[in-house]
Every structure is written in C-alpha cells, then in structure tokens.
Amino acid sequence: MSRLRVINLGLPKSGTTTLGQALAASGLKVADWKIHDHQTEIEELRNDFVGRLMYRGYFKKGDPLHFMHEFDAFTEISMIARGFNEWPQTDWGLLSTIIDKHPGAKFLYSSRPPENLVDSMLRWSNLGKRRLPMYQVPGMPEGYGYEVDELIRWIDGHQRFCRRVFEGTDKFLEYDITDPDAPQQIGEFLGIEIKWWGKANDQAERIAEKLAAGKKP
C-alpha cells in the first residue's frame, strides 16, 4: 500500500495551522510552513521553509518531497516573507510531479468564505496590507491586492484552479473550516480518525488586532 502523504493547497489564514495541529494530534508527522529544530535530526532542514524545500526537491531531485521524507503532511506550503515568494499550491508542474512520485498522496484545500479569509489576512501582521500587494504573487501581479475586491478575486481564482486541475479525481477534498462536519470529512477522506479540532490561531489573531490598532496585547 502506498504511503499516505497529505498536501494542503489552502492559502495563508485559511485554517492551515488548525489543520496541522489536527493531523499531528491524529498521528501524522506534520510540516507546517517551517521545519522547526525539534522536528528533525537533519541539520540542513532545520528552520528551512516547506515551500523552499519543495522547490529545491522539484528542481534538484525531480521530487518535491525528496528532502522531507520523514514528514507525512504539509499543511501550509507557501512562503511570502524575508525576500522569499514561493507558492507551490499554484504550480501544476510541481503538484503533478507529487502525484506521479507519490501514488498515496492526497490533496486538501482548506477554505473559508472569501470575505472572511480576506479579513483575516488584513488583520494578520502585514500579510494582506503590505506583503501580498508588494510581491509578484502567482495570479496577482505586484500592485494588485490593495483592494478587498482584488484579494477576493485572487482567492476565487486559486479556488477555481484547484477545482479544475483535480476535477474527477478521488485524491482531492475541499472543505470549509467553518463547517462543523469538516473533521469528519477530512478523517474519512484520509482514512484516519481526527482526534482534535479547534481554532489554533485564535489568541494570536486577537494579539495581532490589538497591535495593529496601537494597543497593548
């Protein structure tokens, strides 16, 4: 039986941290955005980013997961900070290579209502107000994204991309993080019991809101 590998195609602030914690609590080894020191004995992986490692594996070894063989699930794979701007979830060449190299791979798309997702992006540090509009993000060139409607259009475009490229396959599940049935849907899709579900970044979002308003957290 092919090994289960889980790749989330969701955008930042779409519940990726919640998904990561849920899968970790359910027995999978999870890489969420970054490989932390305690997660690996491989020195070269420590403090590197999932998106960068995927592209390194893709171009250097022909397998996006080559350098992360010890991990089962990848719940936030984009990177837009510190001069890096990488979005594997928008790259069909990379995604199709994962399918070819890893027959047991399954793809999730964590979503939430676009208006709510934009609101969360705008409240999270400078993600929605500065980084997204200033970088050349796939599907949204530099200079776009300052308006709420533009961010919504970008989110909608990514959603339609994911639906189209995975149309007709049983390897793809789109779910809404606000749906109370989401844990059951994910568990049935992956063939595992989801043992925890919640809102992982609730407190962090409240702190970010206060800082943005000039208040003490």
List the domain boundaries for the chain.
5-113+160-212
pLDDT in tens, 115-156: 999 999 999 999 999 999 999 999 999 999 999 999 999 999
- Cα–Cα distance for residue pair 115/151, rounded to 1 Å: 9
Contact 196, 26 (CB under 8 A): yes
Q: Write down the pLDDT at residue 152.
A: 98
- Cα–Cα distance for residue pair 105/171, rounded to 1 Å: 7
| pLDDT beneath 70, residues of the chain | 201-217
Q: What is the DSSP letter of 58?
A: H
Q: Write down the pLDDT at residue 159.
A: 98
pTM of the entire predicted model: 0.91
The residues, any chain, with a CB within 8 Å of residue 143's CB and separated by 6 or more, are: 133
The CATH number fitting domain 5-113+160-212, selected from 3.40.190, 1.20.140, 3.40.50, 1.10.220:
3.40.50
Whole-number percent of the chain with pLDDT over 70: 92
- Cα–Cα distance for residue pair 138/157, rounded to 1 Å: 10
Q: What is the DSSP letter of 128?
A: I
Q: Write down the pLDDT at residue 56.
A: 98
Q: Write down the pLDDT at residue 201.
A: 67
Classify burial at 94, counting beta carbons within 10 Å of its beta carbon; exposed 0-12, middle 13-18, buried 19 or more.
buried
Q: Write down the pLDDT at residue 199.
A: 81
- Cα–Cα distance for residue pair 82/76, rounded to 1 Å: 17
